[in-house]
Structure 1
C-alpha cells in the first residue's frame, strides 16, 4: 500500500474503533464501505488492495461529511515544497554569511570554510557510529535525535487543536499516524537536512565568489605555536586532494614565511579560495549528496510500499470478512455462567467486529479454587472436572475471552490466577480479551441513580488497577442491556490495542 492508502486506513480505523457518544461513522457506513470495496476490487482481490480501496472510499465519505477530517488529512500530508523552501533559505543564509571580516584577510589556517567542513565531518562520524551500533545490535537503523525531534515537530505543527490533546477519533488517528510514519518522516527530514547542508555550503561559496568580484581578498597565516613547516604539513593534509585535482600548487616553507601576518600583507587569495571551494565540494557537497540520494530512495520505498501489518485484530477481521473465512472464539467464564441473554449479546458483538461467520464456544465456568486448571478449556487433549475440553478436530481459537462479572471482588488468588493461566495457555496467534460483564451489577444497583453510577465507577477503577498488575486492561460491557454499537466499538478498540497500550474503553 502507498502512504496515502495507509493514512486513509488508519483514519478509518480510528473512526471505527474509538467509542464516541455521537459517532459520525456508524455501522451502516462501515458495512457500505466493505460492500463497495468488495464490488470494486472483486472477491479475488488481495488483502492490501481490498483494505486500501475500502479506506479510500470511507475517507472520501468522511471528508465530505466532516471538514475537520479534510483539514487533518491535509495537515498530515507531506508538502514537497517545504524541502525546496528550506533549501533556498539555507542557500540565502550561506550567501549572506560574511566571516572574512572587514580587513578582507583570509587566514589559510582558519578560513570560514574550515568550520563548515569540521561540522560536516562530525555529522558523518555520528551517522557512521549510529550505523555501526545498529549493525552490532542487529536491529534497523533508528533516526538520530535531531532528525527524530524535527520529524515530531513537523508532525505536531500540522495538527489543529481539534485533532490533538483529546480522545476523539481524529486524535487517535493523529497519534497512530505519527507512530506509523515515523521512519518515513525521519527519512524525509534527513534528506531535507542533507540538501539544506549542501545549499548552505554552496551559498557560502557563491557569496564569497560574488564578494570577491568587487573586493580584494588577501591570504596569509598567523599562529602562536606553529611554524612554516608545521603549517605546510597541515595544508598538505587538508588541501592536498584539492591541489591534486585543480593543479594549484601548495606553497613551500619559504613562500609560507613570506605570507605570514603581520609582517606580510599576504598574497592574492583567489587560488586559496579555489582550493577551499574544491575541498568543500569533496568534504560536504558530494557526501551530503550521496546521503540525500540514499534517504530519497528510502523515502520513495516507504512511501510507495508502506509497511503496514494486516495481522492485527481490526484489519484481520476486515480481511477475513472479505474472504468469507470463519473465526473461532472461546469464552471461559469465571465462577458464574453468563445468562442466555448475555451469551446472545457477546455473540452479536463478536459477529459485528470479527465477521458474521464467527463461531463462539462458551465453556462451563471455572469454579473458585480451580483457576489453575482454566487452561484445560483451551487444550484439546486436556480434561478437568470443571471445564469442557475443545474437540480435537476443532480449529484453534483466534480469540479467548476471560469472562468475569463486575459484581465479584477481584482477588489475586482467584481472578488473578485465572487470567494468568489463560494468558500462559493461549494458542499461537490467539489473543486474550478480559471482559468484565456489568449485566448483574446494573440489574442489582441500577444505572440512572447517581449513587449507582458512582459505585460502578469505583468498581471499574478497582478492576482496572487489579488487572493492570497482570498486564491486562479490562473491557467493561453490559452484555444484556448495553448499546450494541458502543459495545462493538469498544471491542474493536480493545482488540486493536496491545495489552496495556491505552486507557480502558467502556461501553455502557
Structure 2
C-alpha cells in the first residue's frame, strides 16, 4: 500500500483499539467496514489491498463523527514546500557569505569556501563509516529532525481536544501520531536527508555566486604564506587539491618559481584563475556529490511512499486478513500453577475474538504444576501437533500465551524456565506473550492507592525478569479489565513479540 493508505490504516487501528466507548466507533462499525471492503475488493484481494480499502472506508465514517481525525491526518503529511523554503533560505545565506573576507587577498592555502568543502568531506566520510559499520546511514542531524512532524502532532493533541474532540479521541489521535512517527521513520529520515542535501547545494551555489558578484566590483589578488612550507611543497599541495579542476578547465598551475613570486606580503597575482579553479573544485566536492545523494534519497523516498513497509504480520492486520479469507485459528493458553476463574476464561475468549477475529478458538491447556516447568514445552508441542477436535490443526496457531498469576513472586528458576520452555517449543513465526493475570492480586489487595503502588511494584518485578529473558509481557486483570484496554495491552505485547527474534533460553 502507498503512504497515504498506510497513514489512514494506522489511524483506523488507533481508533479501533481505543477503550470501548471512548471514541464514536462500535463493533457494528467494524463489521460494516470489513463487509464494505470485501465487496469493493473481492474475496481474492491480497491482504494489503483489502486492509487499505477498509481503512479508507472506515476513515470516511470516522471523519463524519470526529472532525479532528482528518485534521490529524493532514498534520502528519509531508509538506514539499519545506524543502524548497529551506533551499531558498540557504541560497540567500550563501549569497550573503563573504567568502573572501575583509581582505582583498585570496590565500591559496586558506581559500574561499575551504570550511564548506572540509565540512562536506567530513559528512561523506562519516556517512561511509556508518555504512561500513552497519549503522544507520542517516546522520545524527537527520535522526534528530525526522521525528519532528510526529512530535509536533502529538503536542497538538490537547489542542485537538479543545476543538471538539473528546478525551478518548485526543488520546487515540496522539497514539496514532506516535505510531506513524515510528512507522515512517525511514521515509521521513530520507526526506530530511534530501532536504539537507539540497540546502547544502543551494548554500554552495549562493556562496559561489556571491564570490563572483564581489569579484565584479572589487579586484582581488592571489598569494600564499606559510611558516612551514616552501614553494615546492605548496605546488605539490595545489596539484592534489586543484589538479582535477585544472585538467577540466585547462587553467595551468604555476611552477615553484612563479609560486615563490606570489608569496605574501608581495603583490601576489591576478586572482581570477584561482577563483575559477576553487569554484570548480567546490562544485566537484559539494554540489555534484550532494546532488547524487539527493537523487538517491529521492528514489528511496518514492519507493517507500509507493510501497510503504507496514508490518502486516502484526496481530491487528493478520486478524483482518484472516477474517477476510474466512480462516479459523486457535490461540493456545498454557497456565503455570494457575487456574483461571470462569470469568477469566470468558475474558480470554473475548480477547482472542477481538484480537484474532470471531472465528478464533481458545485452547486452554491443563496447568503445569509447580516443579514441572521444564515440561511446558513438551505439553505445548503435543497440543500443537494434535489435530482434530482436541487441538488445533497444524499451521493454524495464531499465538501462544504463557499464563501466570500476578499473585506469585516471579522466579527465574520456575516462571522463567516455564516461559523459556514454551518459547523453544512454539512454531516459528507464532508470537508468544507472557500474560500476567492480575485478577487474584486485585481480589486480595484491592485497588486503593497502597494496593495500586504494590501492584506496580509487582509488575516491575515481572517485567524485569521476563524482559531480561527476551519475552514480551502483558498485564491484564482478566476478571475486571475494560475490554478495549485489555485488547490494547495484549495487542501491543503481541506486536512486540512478532517483531522480536526468538529468545535464547536464559542461563540459570
TM normalised by structure 2 equals 0.84
Q: 2:497: which partner in 1?
A: 498
Distance (whole Å) between structure 1 residues aligned to residue 69 and residue 127 of structure 2? 38
Distance (whole Å) between structure 1 residues aligned to residue 203 and residue 248 of structure 2? 23
1:31 matches 2:25: no
- How far has the Cα of 1:411 moved from its partner? 5.6
Distance (whole Å) between structure 2 residues aligned to residue 132 and residue 459 of structure 1? 47
Query: Which sits farther off after the overlay, 317-326 or 370-379?
Result: 370-379
Map residues 93-172 of structure 1 onto 2, 5 A cutoff. 93-134=93-134, 141-153=136-148, 155-162=150-157, 168-172=171-175
Q: 1:16 to 1:228 in 2, by over 3 A?
A: same
Q: 1:185 to 1:394 in 2, by over 3 A?
A: closer
1:250 matches 2:253: yes
Q: 1:386: which partner in 2?
A: none
Q: Could you give the per-residue CA deviations for residues 437-481 of structure 1, whole angstroms, max 9, x where no partner exists?
A: 455667x6697xx65x754663464255235312342331334x6
Q: Could you give the per-residue CA deviations for residues 402-432 of structure 1, whole angstroms, max 9, x where no partner exists?
A: 3345556656665454434333332222223
Distance (whole Å) between structure 2 residues aligned to residue 114 and residue 142 of structure 1? 25
Q: 1:466 to 1:341 in 2, by over 3 A?
A: closer
1:314 matches 2:316: yes
- Contact kept? 1:18, 1:490, Cα under 8 Å: no
Q: Could you give the per-residue CA deviations for residues 377-407 of structure 1, whole angstroms, max 9, x where no partner exists?
A: 3122899xxxxx9659655532223334555
Query: Structure 2, unaligned stretches of length 5 or more?
Result: 160-166, 501-508
Distance (whole Å) between structure 1 residues aligned to residue 199 and residue 456 of structure 2? 53
* DSSP 3-state at the match of 1:379: helix
- Select which of 280, 283, 293 maps to 2:282: 280
Q: 1:207: which partner in 2?
A: 210
Q: Could you give the per-residue CA deviations for residues 349-383 of structure 1, whole angstroms, max 9, x where no partner exists?
A: 31222112112222223333333333343122899
Q: Could you give the per-residue CA deviations for residues 124-180 of structure 1, whole angstroms, max 9, x where no partner exists?
A: 22222222222xxxxx7532222212223454345434279x993233222222222
Q: 1:470 to 1:117 in 2, by over 3 A?
A: closer
Q: 1:465: which partner in 2?
A: 461
- Contact kept? 1:38, 1:50, Cα under 8 Å: yes
* DSSP 3-state at the match of 2:473: coil
- Give aligned pairs, total: 485
Q: 1:48: which partner in 2?
A: 48
- How far has the Cα of 1:273 moved from its partner? 1.5
Map residues 199-238 of structure 1 onto 2, 5 A cutoff. 199-238=202-241
* DSSP 3-state at the match of 2:397: coil
Q: 1:259 to 1:405 in 2, by over 3 A?
A: closer
- How far has the Cα of 1:97 moved from its partner? 0.5
Distance (whole Å) between structure 2 residues aligned to residue 382 and residue 19 of structure 1? 32
* DSSP 3-state at the match of 2:106: strand
* DSSP 3-state at the match of 1:400: strand
Q: Could you give the per-residue CA deviations for residues 8-36 of structure 1, whole angstroms, max 9, x where no partner exists?
A: 22222223334477234433332232222
Q: 2:505: which partner in 1?
A: none
Distance (whole Å) between structure 2 residues aligned to residue 382 and residue 271 of structure 1? 80
Q: 1:18 to 1:228 in 2, by over 3 A?
A: same
Q: 1:330: which partner in 2?
A: 332
Query: Structure 1, unaligned stretches of length 5 or more?
Result: 135-139, 384-388, 502-508
1:189 matches 2:192: yes
- How far has the Cα of 1:316 moved from its partner? 0.9
- How far has the Cα of 1:205 moved from its partner? 0.9
Q: Could you give the per-residue CA deviations for residues 200-236 of structure 1, whole angstroms, max 9, x where no partner exists?
A: 1110111111122222222222333333322222222
Distance (whole Å) between structure 1 residues aligned to residue 499 and residue 460 of structure 2? 10
Distance (whole Å) between structure 2 residues aligned to residue 124 and residue 351 of structure 1? 52
Q: 2:504: which partner in 1?
A: none
* DSSP 3-state at the match of 1:429: coil
Q: 1:485 to 1:291 in 2, by over 3 A?
A: closer
Q: 1:221 to 1:154 in 2, by over 3 A?
A: farther
- How far has the Cα of 1:307 moved from its partner? 1.5
